[in-house]
Structures are given as C-alpha cells and as structure tokens.
Amino acid sequence: MHTSASDQFFWVITNSKTWIPLYLLLAFLVIRQYGWKNGLIILAGTGAAVGLADYIASGILKPWLERPRPSHAEELKGLVHLVNGYRGGKYGLVSSHASTTMAVATSLYLYTHKHFKWVTLLFPWAILIAYSRIAIGVHYPGDILGGMLIGILCSWSIFVLTSTIKDHFRK
C-alpha cells in the first residue's frame, strides 16, 4: 500500500531535522509561560528524559538484544519496502525515534498540561513519527511499542525526580 507520495511524506516525517522549528517553538512557549527559571527546569527535565530514553534504546537495548531491523533481516530480504534505500542501523529493538518523541510528549504533558491544553496534541505527533519508522521499513511494531513505553517511563521518572527536588527546596 505504498505510494510515492506516502513514501516521501513519511520520509520527511521521520527526519529529526524536520521538527527543529517545533522544538524551538515549544521551548519559546515554555519560557514565555513559566519564565526563565522554571522554564529551564522544564526544558532540562524534558531534555534529561529524552537523553535517558535515547541512551536506554540505543546505548543499552539495541547492542544487548542485537535483534536485526526488518531492513537487515535476511529472511525478509526483498519483502520489506524501503524508502529511498534507507536501511537504518543494524539493530532495531527498540525504536529510538519512538522513545525520544514519546519522551518529549510525555514530559511536556506532565510539566505543562495545566497551562497548555493543546499539549495533548504532542501524543498523536509522537505516534505519527513512531509509525513513520514502520512505514519506511526500519522497525517492527513491537520496536515502536517498546520505544514508546521507554519514553513514557523515562519521562515519568525524571518528572517525579525533578518534582521531588523542587518540593525539597521549597521547604
């Protein structure tokens, strides 16, 4: 069910550089709403969650589990639709794109949902990016679900940690 248009759509969606303007806009909105001090705490917490999710996905799980991506699986050679010949790295369990975008969505939701009702729109955005990894042929659905779970857990952990530290200094 691939078309040239859908292939190029998902190719743009999956490119991390596509989202730089969105990240800058989100940072601006957080700083504007919460001020420099609290805004930087929110952005640092979000950055820490993203970094932790990426490290767990790419630095720990992929090298430890060594499960080939569908684009590298010999038994699927010729069956996987690749976009622009891109195959990704050798291993794919779990998806770093899914873990990091879900970390962004979850972190910003946890920190800002009382002031930014629209922040829930980051969840469909993260799901779209995660799905793009399946659409271009470099991840299985389980890779995506695992990555999303890691992103959520990392975000929640960092949020609890920063909230605890912030509460401690308020006393």
Q: In this predicted model, what pLDDT tens digit does every residue of 149-164 receive, in sequence order? A: 999 999 999 999 999 9
Residue with tokens 């759509």: 9
Q: What is the pLDDT of residue 89?
A: 95
- List C-alpha distances in Å: 20 to 17, 64, 131: 5, 30, 19
pLDDT band at 168 (very low <50, low <70, confident <90, very high): confident
- In this model, does residue 70 exceed pLDDT 90? yes
pLDDT band at 169 (very low <50, low <70, confident <90, very high): confident
- In this model, does residue 146 exceed pLDDT 80? yes
Cβ–Cβ under 8 Å, residues 92 and 62: yes
Cβ–Cβ under 8 Å, residues 30 and 42: yes
Average pLDDT, the chain: 96
What's the pTM?
Answer: 0.95
Q: What is the pLDDT of residue 47?
A: 98
- In this model, does residue 166 exceed pLDDT 90? no
Distance CA 82, CA 137 (A): 5
Annotate 42-52 with b (16+ C-beta within 10 A) or e (fewer): bbebbbbbbeb
Q: In this predicted model, what pLDDT tens digit does every residue of 77-86 receive, in sequence order? A: 989 999 999 9
Contacts of 33 (CB under 8 A, 6+ apart): 39, 112, 115, 116
Contacts of 70 (CB under 8 A, 6+ apart): 76, 80, 92, 137, 138, 139, 140
Contacts of 19 (CB under 8 A, 6+ apart): 129
Q: What is the pLDDT of residue 24?
A: 98
pLDDT band at 5 (very low <50, low <70, confident <90, very high): very high
**In the chain, % of residues over pLDDT 70:** 99
Q: In this predicted model, what pLDDT tens digit does every residue of 126-137 receive, in sequence order? A: 999 999 999 999
